[in-house]
Amino acid sequence: MSTATTFDAPLTPRASDPGRDHRPGLVQLTRVELRKMYDTRAGFWLLLSGLLLALTTAVITILTGEDSSHTLADVFNNGSQAMSVLLPVVGILLVTSEWSQRTALLTFTMVPQRGRVLAAKVAASIVLAVAATAVVLLAAVLVTAINPSSTDAWHLELALVGQTLVFSIISMLIGVALGAAILLSAPAIVASFVLPIAWTAVTHLIGALDGLGNWTDQGETLGDMTSHTLSAHQWAQVGTTVLLWLVLPLAIGAWRFLRGEIR
């Protein structure tokens, strides 16, 4: 009696799916975060409102006031300041939407490295701030042509354009930092408007804190970035303000974002 011996054929490895284990790069994640900014009703209308607010401010600037204020520099200054009102709110919603809309679980399942998600949000915010500054500059050029000043209508220092760009990026990132620190849309938006006003009131009403306000008040230190070229002393004041309103909340927010419990 003989028995047949069978041997299982060696298993051949399946061709791996090229996209199955692919980790999305930072550029791809940044594109996704950029899409989130305008792909929702809130984001779309915020961006549109910011653009209309900047355009309206530019038109009012060029049609009213003295002839000496009808310059590209003044129009660009006022338009940039108007745009910066809503840019932080966009940054806040970019971060808090993951938690308030309960999409954080899906996001962190697809990209477990939370730090890369936060880095993509920061990168997307910077890209949007650059784009917003470019749009405001283009709008300022078009609006200035309506009623230009008789002297120096088109004079605009390149250093001032760079400062305005930095101002827009700082404004945007302050919103991202507050959103990450609080992780709730409504409280973060309220805080972005109330805290700077309250800080200004406290530092100006209490005489002993007046010097502190000169170094940490957003209205005093950051507001000048779009109006004239800053001195070294003024840049130092900008640095201390950024440390308080951007670096500190972003550090707190990064810790919460990386370690926060998903509900």
User: What was the pLDDT predicted at 237?
Assistant: 94
User: What was the pLDDT predicted at 114?
Assistant: 74
Rounded to two decimals, what is the model's pTM? 0.85
User: What was the pLDDT predicted at 206?
Assistant: 85
User: What was the pLDDT predicted at 40?
Assistant: 80
Dump pLDDT digits (tens) for 203-235. 888 878 888 888 999 988 998 999 889 999 999
User: Locate tokens 């130092």: which residue?
Assistant: 236
In this prediction, residue 27 has a pLDDT band, given cuts at 50, 70 and 90, of confident
User: What was the pLDDT predicted at 191?
Assistant: 94
In this prediction, residue 109 has a pLDDT band, given cuts at 50, 70 and 90, of low
Residue 164, C-beta contacts closer than 8 angstroms, at least 6 positions apart: 76, 77, 80, 133, 225, 226
Long-range contacts of 81-85 (CB under 8 A, 24+ apart): 81/57, 81/223, 81/226, 82/50, 82/53, 82/54, 82/56, 82/57, 82/58, 83/50, 83/51, 83/53, 83/54, 83/132, 83/133, 83/136, 83/168, 84/167, 84/168, 84/171, 85/50, 85/53
What integer is the mean pLDDT of 179-185? Answer: 90
